[in-house]
């Protein structure tokens, strides 16, 4: 009997056509275990040879194989049993059908005894079905209980990437295991782990720090997919690790020419969201746009321009670059989404390249009235940028004649949180220190929202001898409604107190922010001296 069974096993393994397997259904020595192996081999052949699964499924001999399995399903070994869960649906049997349910029930009974490797494969298969399975929650629960048995980086990485999103509790255990194994991870495995964290929005800082450290220890140059995916993941998680970003930018630069415009635009946006400026890479991106003008879409070009503005980056080929941008934009403005067009014009203003035609377009009543009635966060952000654009038109564009935003629109609530209970320690420190230093509360105006779209933490007026004056006594053209009526005395100056809280960024953080650069320019142009604290 053993010899017959071994012979049948060899026939199943060597079969190259469905008929060879279907004929075995009449063999007296065919056990339920061998029938399960035959069905698994049938499913593999059908997939490899692109066979008609309906013809196999409707064959009486296939039905006999199913009956043999069903009658003695408890005698089927673990591996063929688990494979049946994949084979039966692959051959077109309904997932809710009797045969599939019978196999699922048997697997459910055996879950506690299944080896961990089979549990892992089962979880990956069920997770990939895209449909609810009664088995899946139980499989995930068993993996959660047995996570300490997990061995090998491949197993942990695969589970994080394919199954982790289905169970936060399991993902937490996998993160602990990945932390233990971080030193052993290859660059490709590092990529998969960080990508899994990013796609699941899990900002596990200890793990990210460990992965960053071990990534920096890898001596060889990182493959291009690893570079681009790591950059995307770090950006998605807002995790700035200067040494890693320096290495990514350094190693990306030589490959820039082989990237598609979409990839280049994505890289630029990722670096911008991380507020990380690599000047050589940014210069190379600007040159890439000039060299591939016809291949870079208008949307991709806009993404790169906005990224440059966020980083306050002026390319050395600036004249040529901005001429190309304006040329590409000409006549295309109507095709752009209104929020994207606002971002583009705002970016040109940040980089001191405003064009009268673009200012006219976004400051026209037809354009800005569509934004004013929209309460969505995206519209509120675009409205704030319109205030900045309007300030650029007023303060930095001498030849521009209008249109401008109407005065009544400049005091629109920009969603600024005025709640002192939510103030930062630095803010509270300012509120407490300034009255004492200046000599009274009436000498300071706090939390000032200007018509230029910029907020000041405090405003002070100093006379010619640098003595503070009652700030509310004087006219304030930077406010929608001025409390005072007196003009400033000769030689008096307004001082804007600005707070910068960027502890997670390098000391260069303030200079890299396009918004900060624009705010300084506008306030200086409006006659303010700046007092900056951080």
Provide DSSP, 28-62: TT--HHHHHHHHHHHHHHHHHHT--HHHHHH-HHH
- pLDDT digits over 76-127, tens only? 999 999 999 889 988 988 878 888 889 999 999 999 889 998 999 899 888 8
Identify the CA nearest to 226 among candidates 195, 199, 191, 253: 191
Cα–Cα distance for residue pair 244/256, rounded to 1 Å = 18
Q: Which tokens in the block code for residue 480?
A: 């929608």
Side-chain-facing half-sphere of 381: CA atoms under 13 Å: 9
Is residue 323 in some structural domain?
no
Q: Band the pLDDT of 193: cuts 50, 70, 90.
A: very high
* Full-model pTM: 0.84
Q: What is the largest CA-CA distance in the chain?
A: 112
**pLDDT recorded at residue 132:** 67
Q: Could you give the CA distance from residue 441 to residue 433 in angstroms, rounded to a whole number?
A: 11
Dihedral sign of CA atoms 66, 67, 73, 76 in order: negative
327, part of any domain: no
- The answer as to whether 374 is a domain residue is no
Q: What is the pLDDT of residue 34?
A: 93
Give the residue-averaged pLDDT of 398-403: 90
Contact 451, 479 (CB under 8 A): yes
Residue 439 lies in a domain: yes
What pLDDT was estimated at residue 323?
95
Q: Is residue 416 part of a domain?
A: no
pLDDT(509) > 70: no
Question: Containing domain of residue 503, as a range?
Answer: 425-532
Quick one: tokens of 7? 């012979």
Residue range 60-71: average pLDDT? 92
Residue 416 — pLDDT band, cuts 50, 70, 90? very low
Q: For residue 300, what are the CA distances in angstroms to 295, 325, 452? A: 10, 11, 29
Of residues 493 and 28, the one with the higher pLDDT is 493
- Tell me whether residue 38 is in a domain: no
Q: What share of the chain has pLDDT > 70, as a percent?
A: 95
Q: Give the chain's domain count.
A: 1
Domain-embedded: residue 514: yes
| Alpha carbon separation from 188 to 198, 207, 292 (Å, rounded) | 15, 16, 30
Query: In this structure, is residue 219 part of a structural domain?
Result: no
Residue 151: the pLDDT is: 87
> How high is the pLDDT of residue 413?
54
427 falls in which pLDDT band (50, 70, 90)? confident
Q: Give the 3-state secondary structure of residue 457.
A: strand
Are the C-beta atoms of residues 472 and 440 closer than 8 Å to each other? no
Q: Where does the pLDDT of residue 191 fall: very low under 50, low under 70, confident under 90, or very high at 90 and above? A: very high
Mean pLDDT of the chain: 89
Backbone angles phi, psi at 448, to 5 degrees: -95, 120
| Distance separating alpha carbons of residues 430 and 32, to the nearest angstrom | 79
Residue 327 pLDDT > 70, yes or no?
A: yes
């Amino acid at each position: 009997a053993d010899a017959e069974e071994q012979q049948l096993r060899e026939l199943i393994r060597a079969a190259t056509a469905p008929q060879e397997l279907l004929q075995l259904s009449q063999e007296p020595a065919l056990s339920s275990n061998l029938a399960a192996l035959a069905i698994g081999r049938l499913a593999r052949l059908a997939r490899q040879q692109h066979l008609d699964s309906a013809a196999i499924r409707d064959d009486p001999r296939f039905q006999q194989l199913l009956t043999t399995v069903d009658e003695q399903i408890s005698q089927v070994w673990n591996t063929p049993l688990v494979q049946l869960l994949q084979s039966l649906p692959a051959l077109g049997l309904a997932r809710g059908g009797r045969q599939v349910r019978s196999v699922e029930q048997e697997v459910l009974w055996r879950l506690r005894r299944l080896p961990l490797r089979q549990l892992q494969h089962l979880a990956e298969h069920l997770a990939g079905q895209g449909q609810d399975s009664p088995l899946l929650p139980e499989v995930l629960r068993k993996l959660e209980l047995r996570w300490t048995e997990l061995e090998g980086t491949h197993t942990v990485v695969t589970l994080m990437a394919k199954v982790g999103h289905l169970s936060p509790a399991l993902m937490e255990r996998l993160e602990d295991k990945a932390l233990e194994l971080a030193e052993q991870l290859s660059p490709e495995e590092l990529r998969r782990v960080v990508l899994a964290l990013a796609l699941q929005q899990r900002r596990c800082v200890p793990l990210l720090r460990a992965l960053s450290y071990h990534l920096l220890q890898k001596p060889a140059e990182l493959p291009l997919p690893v570079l681009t995916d790591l950059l995307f993941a770090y950006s998605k998680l807002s995790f700035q690790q200067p040494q890693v970003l320096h290495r990514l930018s350094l190693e990306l630069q030589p490959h820039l020419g082989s990237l598609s415009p979409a990839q280049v635009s994505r890289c630029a946006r990722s670096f911008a969201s991380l507020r990380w400026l690599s000047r050589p890479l940014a210069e190379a991106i600007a040159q890439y746009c000039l060299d591939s003008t016809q291949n870079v879409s208008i949307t991709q070009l806009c993404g790169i321009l906005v990224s440059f503005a966020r980083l306050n980056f002026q390319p050395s080929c600036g004249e040529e670059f901005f001429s190309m941008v304006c040329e590409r934009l000409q006549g295309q403005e109507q095709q752009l989404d209104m929020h994207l067009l606002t971002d583009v014009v705002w970016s040109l203003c940040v980089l001191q390249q405003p064009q009268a035609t673009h200012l006219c377009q976004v400051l026209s009543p037809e354009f800005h009235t569509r934004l004013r009635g929209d309460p969505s966060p995206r519209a509120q952000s675009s409205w704030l940028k319109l205030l900045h654009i309007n300030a650029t038109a007023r303060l930095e564009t001498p030849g521009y004649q209008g249109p401008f935003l109407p005065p009544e629109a400049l005091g629109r609530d920009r969603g600024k949180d005025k709640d002192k209970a939510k103030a930062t320690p630095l803010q509270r420190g300012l509120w407490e220190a300034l009255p004492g230093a200046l000599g009274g509360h009436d000498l300071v105006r706090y939390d000032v929202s200007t018509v230029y779209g910029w907020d000041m933490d405090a405003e002070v007026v100093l006379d010619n001898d640098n003595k503070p004056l009652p700030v509310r006594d004087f006219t304030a053209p930077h406010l929608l409604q001025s409390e005072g009526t007196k003009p400033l005395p000769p030689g008096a100056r307004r001082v804007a107190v600005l707070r910068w809280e960027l502890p997670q960024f390098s000391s260069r953080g303030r200079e890299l922010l396009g918004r900060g650069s624009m705010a300084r320019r506008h306030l200086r142009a409006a006659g303010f001296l700046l007092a900056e604290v951080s």
